[in-house]
Amino acid sequence: MTLDPSTVVVHAGRPERVPNAPVGESPVFSSTYVAGGDRGYGRFGNDAWTALEDTLGELEGGRGLTFASGMAAAAAIADLVPVGGRIVAPQHAYSGVLALLDQQATAGRLTVDRVNIADTADVTRAVDQADMLWIESPTNPAMEVADLPAISAAGRQAGTTVVVDNTFATPLLQQPIRLGADIVMHSATKFIAGHSDVVLGAVVTADDDLWNAIDLRRRSLGAIPGPMEAWLALRGLRTLALRLERAQSNAAFLAERLLQHPRVSRVRYPGLPDDPGHARAKAQMSGFGAILSIELGGDAEGAQRVCESTALWVHATSLGGVESMLERRRRWPIEVPTIPEDLIRLAVGIEHPNDLWADLEQALKTGI
């Protein structure tokens, strides 16, 4: 029986159904295990990690590994690049990942080539002789969409390890391994956990050698999740399909409204028919997600005031929670300078759409 992902997300990673078994896995609060079995030590595994890893693995089409944060997962993956190797990365992507790669380049550990990830020819040229291709799609916060099947195939052909940060799409809207990628990573802090109460990361790969190499790094670098964090993320993940359905329809509604608003000069959302990423997103995703970015065509101060004028929307960084959040990305010094100063990222939650629009409209008026 082939199950829909919205069913898999509810049922995967559960204990075996035998009399007296609990319905769901529990976190095990133990730093070590009695000798004689295969568990060993708390840094090597935990029942709550396993349940989360099995669920994410089944959704993405591979085997999972959880980490202390999305950045810990990214760092373990980047460590696969040999010393002196070359990584191809997007011009625009999560600023923390780009900063990590820059630090490693500055230290002489590797070299980084930045490409426009939406430009397939540009990416295909750059992957020749590269050790790793790092992709984000849609990108944070520029909302560019990469042609995942095409550039994954180009990476594969060049013998490059293809990595996709799938945080924005979630495993319900996009499964990059099934589109040709080698490794998928998530900031599980965002949509997967979904309640703004936990920081966590995850990796999925269908390649056993890559899985073992990343597991080895988790053991040796030690960036492991706490059992409680893994359990919270799994609990959150169970309702991802429902949360996304509402957040996504809210995002589509707001994108249309914002497009008509006289103060908004540009709306970046792949769900809009005129968005440059629309056709690609439609081909490789089963929905357009719940993040959009807007530009006001003004200065940084004006955009900053809008962010500070909301009552319902939380002015905070992060995304993927049940509560809507917004921020001007360039308020962070490490954000890429080609991201416009007046770009506001809207992470849409599951509130009533009319309330979200009323508050945004009010903030766009107030924050002039």
Ligand X SMILES: *Cc1c(COP(=O)(O)O)cnc(C)c1O
> In whole angstroms, how close is the CB of 311 to ligand X at the nearest point?
25
| Residue 201 or 287 having the CB closest to ligand X | 201
Structure tokens of 213?
Answer: 């190499």
Which of 97, 112, 272, 281 lies at the binding interface for ligand X (CB under 6 A)?
A: 97
> In whole angstroms, how close is the CB of 166 to ligand X at the nearest point?
8
Which of 160, 167, 196, 324 lies at the binding interface for ligand X (CB under 6 A)?
A: 167
Structure tokens of 189?
Answer: 């802090």
Is 70 exposed, middle or buried, given 0-12, 13-18 or 19+ CB atoms closer than 10 A?
A: buried
Among candidate residues 14, 39, 43, 305, the one labeled active-site is 43
Does position 149 interact with ligand X (CB under 6 A)? The reply is no
Q: Which residues contact 48 (CB under 8 A, 6 or more apart)?
A: 25, 26, 27, 28, 227, 228, 230, 231, 234
Tally the residues of the chain: 368
> In whole angstroms, how close is the CB of 293 to ligand X at the nearest point?
13
> In whole angstroms, how close is the CB of 199 to ligand X at the nearest point?
5
> In whole angstroms, how close is the CB of 41 to ligand X at the nearest point?
24
| Residue 198 or 363 having the CB closest to ligand X | 198
CA gyration radius for the chain?
Answer: 20
| Residue 96 or 298 having the CB closest to ligand X | 96
Sole window of 67-75, 143-151, 234-242, 244-252 interacting with ligand X (rule: CB under 6 A) = 67-75
- Provide the b/e sequence for 165-197 (b: ≥16 CB within 10 Å): bbbbbbbbbbbbbebbbbbbbbbbbbbbbbebe
> In whole angstroms, how close is the CB of 49 to ligand X at the nearest point?
16
Dihedral sign of CA atoms 153, 161, 87, 49 in order: positive
For 107, half-sphere exposure in the C-beta direction (CA atoms, 13 angstrom radius) is 10
Among candidate residues 63, 86, 94, 328, the one labeled active-site is 94
Does position 140 interact with ligand X (CB under 6 A)? The reply is yes
Does position 189 interact with ligand X (CB under 6 A)? The reply is yes
Which of 61, 85, 96, 180 lies at the binding interface for ligand X (CB under 6 A)?
A: 96
Among candidate residues 63, 86, 114, 190, the one labeled active-site is 190
Does position 190 interact with ligand X (CB under 6 A)? The reply is yes
Structure tokens of 244?
Answer: 């996304």
43 in catalytic set: yes
94 in catalytic set: yes
Sole window of 119-127, 187-195, 249-257, 337-345 interacting with ligand X (rule: CB under 6 A) = 187-195
165 in catalytic set: yes
> In whole angstroms, how close is the CB of 185 to ligand X at the nearest point?
7
DSSP alpha helix (H) spans, the chain: 5-11, 47-60, 70-78, 95-106, 120-126, 148-157, 170-173, 208-221, 227-237, 240-260, 278-284, 300-307, 353-366
Near ligand X in 201-230, by CB under 6 A: 201
Sole window of 35-43, 55-63, 65-73, 149-157 interacting with ligand X (rule: CB under 6 A) = 65-73
Helices 70-78 and 95-106, packing angle to 10 deg? 40
Beta bridge partners of 100: none
Q: What stretch of H or E contains 203?
A: strand 201-205
CA angle (343, 146, 212) in 5-degree steps: 110
Among candidate residues 147, 165, 275, 359, the one labeled active-site is 165
- Provide the b/e sequence for 35-49 (b: ≥16 CB within 10 Å): eeeebeebeebbbbb
| Residue 94 or 288 having the CB closest to ligand X | 94
Does position 70 interact with ligand X (CB under 6 A)? The reply is yes
Does position 163 interact with ligand X (CB under 6 A)? The reply is no
Site residues for ligand X per CB under 6 A: 69-71, 94, 96-97, 136, 140, 165, 167-168, 187, 189-190, 199, 201
The catalytic residue positions are 43, 94, 165, 190
